[in-house]
Structure 1
């Protein structure tokens, strides 16, 4: 045994000189496992007869009790192989590793969970109790000499043991075991109801809550005046007295307007209209201007239809709005407010207004609420011409010059022929079409048996002589439109042209001089028709004085009203930066005078005149 320590081989590297700090964090913790293995082989020295020393033999070869010797070797090896586990930061280990130089790297094991830390504390506690240190110290004392490495190693072992003892890991491990081994409950966990205080309450304005800033409830608003009509409540059937809503009591001014209206509304012979060249027509449009006196708010809401009285001595403009109100404006009255008179004739949108071609003292208005009324200014009354509460009306036109018969289009794509000459309720005759809806319709100015109807995406031309109650077969169909249509109108004199307004941002002009199965497309004008939901849709209409030119509103800036030739050429743009600052969706031109009126979505009318 004395000579065996000289051949002692330790398969581990020299530990670092000092350990700066230790950490129990699993992410930055390593375990240094050191093993010192001493292999001892007992042997016997014998001499032969000649006195020579023979080769040493292993006692295990001669000993019969081999199992006993192997057991002794195993126990002795275990005693001489203590496991010392140290915990220190990863950064310090890298420094220690570089200091070891060419020595063998230690065996490093990273703890994965809390159980590894607990096993570490138990082993250190067992070593502290004297298992590893006492045995190893006793063995070292038996040796003849103790190297500096072994002294430093024993010192590190004792320091580590004292440090881990100060951490009280045993008590901590016991508490962790109780927490880990605690069985989870298998009962159903129910969510606790949230308290009312914890719920998030959406903010609401005090106006909607009907309270003032101090929290006091506000009183109920005052009842609306009787003149304001609910949008979905139909007016009672029968005639309505012609009393302006914006005038109170006896109004002598309105009586004077009625007398003036009767004088200027005398029927006159229809003169033949001559078509002037484009340059002369363009020059006449250049002389038309707008001023503050020719701009005024006439209706309460958005304007959806307009008409100009054919008088050549006075300028009278009529407008129908979204709420069913009809406003009249006499531009000769000063100040402007004295020439405005409003009437509530319908409960929904007034989509069409026309003065009678036979008697200009009659103003006919059609609404979505299923009523068609005629304002007779000679008797100061609004008569009910046609009523059908089961259908919604969309548009109408006169079938004859005497205005005795009308053609009425419905939103359900049906058409009604109304005869005003029958006593009592007007006679009606229905025809159903294959269209999805009818938005506008117009009778041909020369051949009264033809009429054109604009539907959702198709334009159809029908012949009244071949209409059937079960279904109307169109004579000609125009199917070039890609999106929803807004209008389709014949040229005013000959009807040889048709202009359509479509939501695909195009204005199209067709040649209808020959009523054949195919109608050629003459011109496609690129035009921004995207008015949106808050503006009335554009409707390109012909100028009654110049049937090869049509008028349409514009979305461009500065705001304007454009006039195009049928070839697509821009003839003129009516604009004024101060007086025209909004989009005029609806435009109408005087039949004989250079007067243009445009209505916007706030009920304001802009008039350009010479």
Structure 2
């Protein structure tokens, strides 16, 4: 240090000691001097900085009518002529009444337009409407960088054989786990970006292999599409400085608004690609609708809607012609996409909210439901299709409430409807079939992840499962609270690799676990990741790919370091 710096440091030390002697430091905020290591750690923990700045609204605010008391209105209104004739007075009163009627009509029309603007949109929407917040050049890059790439190949969903990776002894399982650990141990944070404006609720990895295209749905009905490996464009800030490489975003993203209004009433609860044609992406929302966006036509179309029942999730069999939809009323809806949506059948399979529904990819007549009633259940939909209303019942012929369902299950005809169930300690957040159609993973608020291995012979017999017990139970903190998206373990959709799933961790890591409960990888980076990675997904065909999102809309791509 120079003589001046040394003298300055000595003065500061003397002043601090004097204040301490006089007991005057309690009301002063004198931060201690930080060493080099602390400065370095604080600098490394900076969150990813968004390169895109919101456009400034240059339009002037609408003029508001100044409120006025009735007394002032009377004094400022037209003063009638005391010498007016009866005919003139009658004509004046008629004109004033007509004017008041026009003003009231205009007021009611404005209020109705405001109400309509806050209601869900049920009409067809084109890309330009969904992307009205994008600049013209951003819309052009979206068309060239996403839509044109997606339309090259249909990428049908892969399905594994139900007997694949089913070994007689544990040594073979351990060998597969070891091989998978070797492949995934090099995965790091290779890209970060604030893809959506609000909390991430759902995610899906597009099967395209030439790009990492990840779709994220947020709390306010926004669909963020992230090309995570696109070249980074360095953008200077207001001072002309370019953001540092480790704090800037990775790739490019575009934000669409398929669900409306842009409030928490439109949170996107689930995202799925069509099993046959990945040009189509389906999204369900708390606005009680499910929409299908076609990248071939550029049109978003509503395929299902309910009056006031919140949609929690949906799933599709490999054929892509049907859809099973779960809701907050404890119901599951069967929708045939080849028929009119008014012919959808609704079954109340629980007395509380069903948080997820999963269709078996190999035996698609089996569905799995997880509900707040703490029970996980396996249903045979062939039996559900046989349910009929009694003649004396005057309910909707397409709706079957819990009384009808319970009566059918207890009958001789419905004894094979409910194949298996398992009581959890608390609400079951989610439950999904693996790509083989025999493994099941569930997450529960009793801080446990449970795994099942259903024998194929159980699925082939027309009878309830002889046994339906989890093969293992893993302790996992699932207490996300109010401000985090519920943790849901998601299977890797890759049918050619040993079954495993990804799940967020309250310690800010992304955990990868095998179908037998072995921890394969714990992906984390304390210097760059400072939030819970609540929502996760994996690439359908590339093993070394995973993505995650957090409560602020920031998303992460995990891949081998050479992919950065």
* TM-score, with structure 1 as normaliser: 0.58
Root-mean-square deviation (Å): 2.5
Contact 1:316/1:331, CA 8 A, preserved across alignment: yes
User: Which of 405, 426, 429 is residue 486 of structure 1 equivalent to?
Assistant: 429
Change beyond 3 A, Cα 1:434–1:290: closer
SS in 1 for 2:502: strand
SS in 1 for 2:216: strand
- Quick check: 1:527 aligned with 2:527? no
Contact 1:434/1:471, CA 8 A, preserved across alignment: no
Structure 2 residues not aligned, in runs of 5+: 1-59, 63-113, 166-174, 234-248, 261-265, 388-399, 410-416, 460-464
- Quick check: 1:536 aligned with 2:470? no
Contact 1:491/1:547, CA 8 A, preserved across alignment: no
Change beyond 3 A, Cα 1:265–1:279: same
Higher RCO (CA-CA < 8 Å; seq separation 6+): 2
List aligned pairs for 1:183-582, cutoff 5 A. 233-243=118-128, 244-249=131-136, 251-267=139-155, 270=158, 275=165, 277-291=176-190, 294-334=191-231, 335=233, 339-347=252-260, 348-399=266-317, 401-422=318-339, 425=341, 427-456=343-372, 457-467=374-384, 468=387, 469=400, 470-471=404-405, 473=409, 475-493=418-436, 495-513=437-455, 514-515=458-459, 516-545=465-494, 546=497, 548-556=499-507, 559-582=508-531
Contact 1:245/1:342, CA 8 A, preserved across alignment: no
Deviation at 1:263? Answer: 3.8
Deviation at 1:262? Answer: 4.1
Distance in 2, matches of 1:432 and 1:356, equals 26
Change beyond 3 A, Cα 1:358–1:302: same
Deviation at 1:235? Answer: 2.2
List aligned pairs for 1:112-151, cutoff 5 A. none
SS in 1 for 2:354: coil
Deviation at 1:319? Answer: 0.5
Contact 1:476/1:517, CA 8 A, preserved across alignment: no
Contact 1:264/1:311, CA 8 A, preserved across alignment: no
Change beyond 3 A, Cα 1:609–1:263: same
Contact 2:151/2:279, CA 8 A, preserved across alignment: no
Contact 1:587/1:598, CA 8 A, preserved across alignment: yes
Distance in 1, matches of 2:350 and 2:134, equals 47
Change beyond 3 A, Cα 1:232–1:523: farther
Moved more, 573-582 or 547-556: 547-556
* TM-score, with structure 2 as normaliser: 0.63
Deviation at 1:264? Answer: 3.6
Deviation at 1:259? Answer: 4.6
SS in 1 for 2:471: strand
Partner of 2:546: 596
Distance in 1, matches of 2:421 and 2:381, equals 18
Contact 1:529/1:537, CA 8 A, preserved across alignment: yes
Contact 2:350/2:371, CA 8 A, preserved across alignment: no
Distance in 2, matches of 1:264 and 1:609, equals 24
Deviation at 1:332? Answer: 3.5
Structure 1 residues not aligned, in runs of 5+: 1-220, 224-228
Distance in 2, matches of 1:268 and 1:368, equals 28
Q: Which has the larger radius of gyration?
A: 1
SS in 2 for 1:342: strand
Change beyond 3 A, Cα 1:241–1:560: same
Contact 2:429/2:443, CA 8 A, preserved across alignment: yes
Contact 2:196/2:255, CA 8 A, preserved across alignment: yes
Change beyond 3 A, Cα 1:337–1:376: farther
Query: Number of residue pairs matched?
Result: 378
Moved more, 599-608 or 543-552: 543-552
Contact 2:159/2:362, CA 8 A, preserved across alignment: no
Partner of 1:63: none
